[in-house]
Amino acid sequence: MSTSPESAGSGGSSDAIIPRHVAIIMDGNNRWARGKGLPGPAGHRAGVEAVRGVLRACRQQGVEVLTLFAFSSENWGRPLPEVRTLLALLSRYLRSEVRQLHEDGVRLRFIGERGRFSAGLQRLMQQSEHLTAGNSAATLVIAVDYGGRWDITQAVQTLARQIEAGALQPEDIDPDLIERNLSASDLPLPDLCIRTGGDARISNFMLWQFAYSELYFTNTLWPDFGELEFARALSDYSRRERRFGLRTPDGLASAGDADA
């Protein structure tokens, strides 16, 4: 099995290929709650518990970065009570978990457009990042008010302002320069994207960064996605051959690699 050097981590079993960066679209909280005859907020609360288990599994397996799609740009369109619940849970998570994350050596990062959040929540996010900034055991990235189109747009706007100021020429813009201006440009690109809940789409999440990510879809609802389910996803990833658009040794282009 071949792989890119940057996709191998330091943990896991000796013959397993561990992704450095795993991104997760956490889907299925509401359906989980309905299936148990519970109100929607109960599903979101159970989803927070699942975060703890997956983060623990990442650290045990040697995954360096875990990115969670917690609140998308489109989520503002959900019913107001649900939006309030989601934001209240995020605030509660930061108040209750950041100290433990810091003690465990986990760096916390946020990506997304923060301006629409309350001043109190923005302050909590900033304080959490500041407290954990020097940690290096692992990185937890929480995507809030985030969308892949927004991410690319804000990168292009940054470059446009540099052109307007005369610091950059249009012909200087290439994919590498755009990538360096994305919101998580200091982190390795995601090796593996996991989506729970049964849908097989990426829903405007990290559109640029997923260009060569492996995709793993499971019917398991997010609150039920525990360490065993995560291990299955890593095992599936370990069996894949990542070609990054290159040719195989026999000279044949890999199926689906349109740019091979």
**Strand partners of residue 133:** none
166 burial (CB, 10 Å; 0-12 / 13-18 / 19+) is exposed
* Mean pLDDT, rounded, for 120-138: 97
Residue-range domains of the chain with CATH: 17-146+190-238 (3.40.1180.10)
In angstroms, rounded to a whole number, what is the distance separating the alpha carbons of residues 248 and 252?
A: 6
| 222-240 pLDDT tens trace | 999 999 999 999 999 999 9
For residues 205 and 143, the answer to whether their CB atoms sit within 8 Å is yes
Please give the pLDDT value at position 248.
60
Q: Quote the pTM value.
A: 0.87
Calpha distance 244→231 (Å, rounded): 24
For the beta carbon of residue 239, count every other beta carbon within 10 angstroms: 9
Report the catalytic residues.
27, 75
**Is pLDDT at 259 greater than 60 in this prediction?**
no
Tell me: pLDDT of 10 over 90: no
CA distance 128 to 142: 12
Q: What confidence category does residue 16 fall into, taking pLDDT thresholds of 50, 70 and 90? A: confident
Has residue 130 got a pLDDT over 60?
yes
What band does 247 get if pLDDT is binned at 50, 70 and 90? Answer: low
Distance between the two ends of the chain, CA-based, in angstroms? 18
Confidence category of residue 251, pLDDT binned at 50, 70, 90: low
pLDDT at 3: 38
Does the pLDDT at position 185 exceed 80?
yes
